[in-house]
Structure 1
Amino acid sequence: MEDLGEVHNLYGSVSVVELQNVVDRREAVKAKMREKNRVDKLSLEWSESSSADNSQTERDILDELCPHKNIKEVEINGYRGTTFSNWLADALFLKLVQLSIDNCKNCYSLPSLGELPCLKFLSIRGMHGITEVTEEFYGSLSSKMPFNSPVGLRFVDMPEWKQWNVLGSGEFPTLEKLKIKNCPELSLETPIQLSCLKRLKVSGCPKVGVVFDEGMKQIEELYNSDCNSVTSFPFSILPTTLKRLEISGYKKLKLEVPVG
C-alpha cells in the first residue's frame, strides 16, 4: 500500500490484488487512491479463498480505497465485508460509466446505485448473500428517475436471490440490454416495464419465465431457457421489432403459434 501511494503519475488502468493481506484502515490510507486523478479504471480484488475476521475492518479498508472522482470504471471482486462503502453510490462520480461487483459473498445488501448519474453498464455477479433487491438499490427518489443512464444490466449467479422490488415508476428508462442468469430462487410478481429494452436474456431462473411486458415495444432479441413452470408463451403480444427469439428447456410448454 505504501509503495502504491508513492507512485504519483499513475494513469489508465490500475489493479490492486490480494487485498486480504491489508491489515487495517491505516495501511489502506497509504495507497492514496483519492489523489490519483489520472486513473480511469480501478480494480480491487480479494482472494476468494480467504475469509474476514472483522467485517468492520473490511469496510474501513474499502472506505480508504475510494478512487478520485475522475474514475470511469470500477471493479470490486471478492470483497469480504457485509456492507459496501458509501462511495460506491456517490452521485459526485460524474464520469463513472461502468461498475462490476463480483463474488462479494458476505454482503447482504446492494448500494444505492440508482443515484450514479452517468452509469451505463452495471454487472452484479456471485452475490450469495443477497436475498432481496430492495428500494434501497434505487436510492433517493425525490429528485429524478433512478438509473436514468444505464444501457446494460446483468445479474448472474445469485443462488439466494428471491425478490426484486420493481418500483414501476420509470426506472431504467434507457436500458437496452438485460441479462439474468443462474438465479434459481428469483420470482417477479410485477412485470418490468422497460420501454427501450432491445435484448433480454433469462436463463437458469426457473421461477422467472418470460419477463415480458407490453411496454417493451423496442425489443429485438429475446432469449429464455430452463423455466419449468411456464406452460404458455405470449406470441400474441410480441412486437414487430423482434428479430431473434430463442426458447429452450421448457418441459411443460405447449406452443400455439398464431396463424397469419
Structure 2
Amino acid sequence: MLGNLQVLKVNRCGQLKKLPKDIIKLVNLRCLEVGGCYNLVGMPRGLRQLTSLQSLSCFKLGEKDGDFADLNELNQLIINLRGGLAIEELQNATSKPTLSNLKAAQHIQSLEFYWTAFGFGESQYDDLVLESLEPHQNLKYLVIDGFQGMRIPNWLSTLRNLIGIQITHCYYCRHLPALDQLPSLKRLSLLTAVEYISDASYTMSMSFFPSLEELEILTCTNLKGWWRRDDGDIMQLKDLPAFPCLSNLYIDDCPNLTSMPLCSSLEDLTIYGSSLKPLEKMMSNVPSSTPSISAGLLSRLKSLRISYPDTLDLLTEEYDKQWEALTSLRSVELSVLHELVSLPKGFQRVTSLQSLKIWFCDNLTVLTEGMHLQYLEIKECPQLLEKWWKQYGC
C-alpha cells in the first residue's frame, strides 16, 4: 500500500528478524537502511526487483537453505548503489559466489565485509568468496572482518584511492598483499595471524606508505616483524625506510614484534602487552641516509603510553641518555608494570615533559627527581604511597 515510498529506515530495530516479503513491491524505494538490526536473519528473496534502489546500508546473507536473497540478487542492484554498503554473514555465501558487478559499482565509497562464524576453523570457501568481491577503483574505505581464509586477495593492493583499511578478526589469515605503495592510504588497522606484514624481502623505496597517518596493530600474536627476512640483517642495513607521515601508532598484544620501519614523524605512541624492542631500536638512533631522521627518530613524539610490556629494558639506566632525544615529549603514561621499582633517571633529561601518569605499578618505590611536571597522577602504587606516608606523613 506504500507504492510511492522512497525512503525506509529501520535502523537499530534489535528485535527485527525478517523484513516483510512484500517489501519487494516498493518499486520506488531509493533508500533502505537496516543498520544495527542484529537479529535480522537475511534479506527477502526477490529484492532485485527494487530497481530504483540507490542506497542500501546493509545486505545480510541468510542461511543457504532458507528463503532469502543471495549474492546473485545483490549483483543486480549493486551497479546503482551509492555511498556505503555492509555485506554481512558472508559465511553463508556459496562456494562460487557471483558479485561481478561490484567491480563496476563506481559510486560505492565504502565497503564492509563481515563473517561471523568464529571458532569453526579455517573455511575452504572464504578465499574464493573474498576473491570474488573485488570492488571498483574509486573505493575509499574497506573493512574485512572475521574472514577465515588464509590470504587477502591481491586486488587490495590495486585500489589506489583507498583512504582507510581495516582487516580484523582474521585469525587464519597468513598472507597480506603489498600495501606500502597505496598513495592515498591514511589509516590502517590489522588483526590477523600473519608473521610478517610483507612477505617480500626488504627493498628500499622512495614511496613507502606515502600518506599513512594512523597505524593500529591489534592482537597479532604471531607477528615478528615487517619483512619476511632475518631481523638482524635488516637492522644492519644503512638505509631503512621510514613512514613519512605516520603520526599515530597503536600496538596492542603483539609480544613477538621486534622490528618496525622507522617512524620519523611519530607524535602519539601506545604499546600495550607487546615487545618494546621496536621502540628501543628507534631510541637507539638507527643510522639512516636521511640526516634529519638520524638526528632524532622520535624528536616529534608528544605522547607515550606503555602497559603490560614484555620487559622493562627501556626503563633501565642503559637508556637514560636516549630519553634526551625526545625533545617534544609532553605526556607519559605507565601502567601495570609490576616489576618496575624506580623510574628511569633519563626522565630528568626530558625537559618538555609536563604530564606523568603511573597506574598499577605494585613495586614502584622511587620517582625520578628533577622533573618539572605540571600534572602527576598515581593510582594503585602501594609501595610508593607507603613510603611517602612514612616520609611526609601524608
With normalisation by structure 1, the TM-score equals: 0.84
Q: For structure 1, which runs of at least 5 residues remain unmatched after alignment?
A: none
In 1, distance between residues paired with 2:198 and 2:99? 35
Question: Cα distance 1:134–1:39, how it changes in 2: closer, same or farther (>3 A)?
Answer: closer
Answer with 1 or 2: which has the greater Rg.
2
The aligned counterpart of 1:221 is 303
Question: Cα distance 1:53–1:73, how it changes in 2: closer, same or farther (>3 A)?
Answer: closer
- Tell me if 1:83 matches 2:151: yes
The aligned counterpart of 2:141 is 73
Matched-pair contact (CA < 8 Å) for 1:210–1:224 = no
The structure with higher relative contact order (CA 8 Å, sep 6+) is 1
Deviations 1:2-51 (A, max 9, x none): 121111321111001111111123x2x24521121110000011124244
Report how far residue 63 of structure 1 moved.
Answer: 1.6
- Tell me if 1:94 matches 2:160: yes
The aligned counterpart of 1:182 is 253
Q: CA RMSD in A?
A: 2.5
Query: In structure 2, what residue type is equivalent to 1:225?
Result: S
Alignment of 1:194-205 (within 5 A): 194-205=263-274
Aligned length: 248
Secondary structure of 1:103's partner? Answer: strand
Report how far residue 240 of structure 1 moved.
Answer: 2.7
Paired-residue identity, % = 25
In 2, distance between residues paired with 1:106 and 1:228? 25
In 1, distance between residues paired with 2:297 and 2:189? 24
More helix by share: 2
The aligned counterpart of 1:241 is 328
In 1, distance between residues paired with 2:195 and 2:241? 24
Alignment of 1:1-260 (within 5 A): 1-7=71-77, 8-25=79-96, 27=97, 29-30=98-99, 32-49=101-118, 50-54=120-124, 57-90=125-158, 93-125=159-191, 127=192, 129-134=193-198, 136=200, 141=203, 144-165=206-227, 169-188=240-259, 192-206=261-275, 208=277, 210-211=279-280, 212-213=282-283, 214-231=296-313, 232=316, 234=320, 236-250=323-337, 251-252=339-340, 254-255=342-343, 256=345, 257-258=347-348, 259=370
Deviations 1:120-167 (A, max 9, x none): 100002x1x3223345397xx576322111000010011222334476
Matched-pair contact (CA < 8 Å) for 1:78–1:103 = yes
Query: In structure 2, what residue type is equivalent to 1:132?
Result: Y
Report how far residue 62 of structure 1 moved.
Answer: 1.3
In 1, distance between residues paired with 2:103 and 2:204? 29
With normalisation by structure 2, the TM-score equals: 0.57
Q: For structure 2, which runs of at least 5 residues remain unmatched after alignment?
A: 1-70, 284-295, 349-369, 372-394
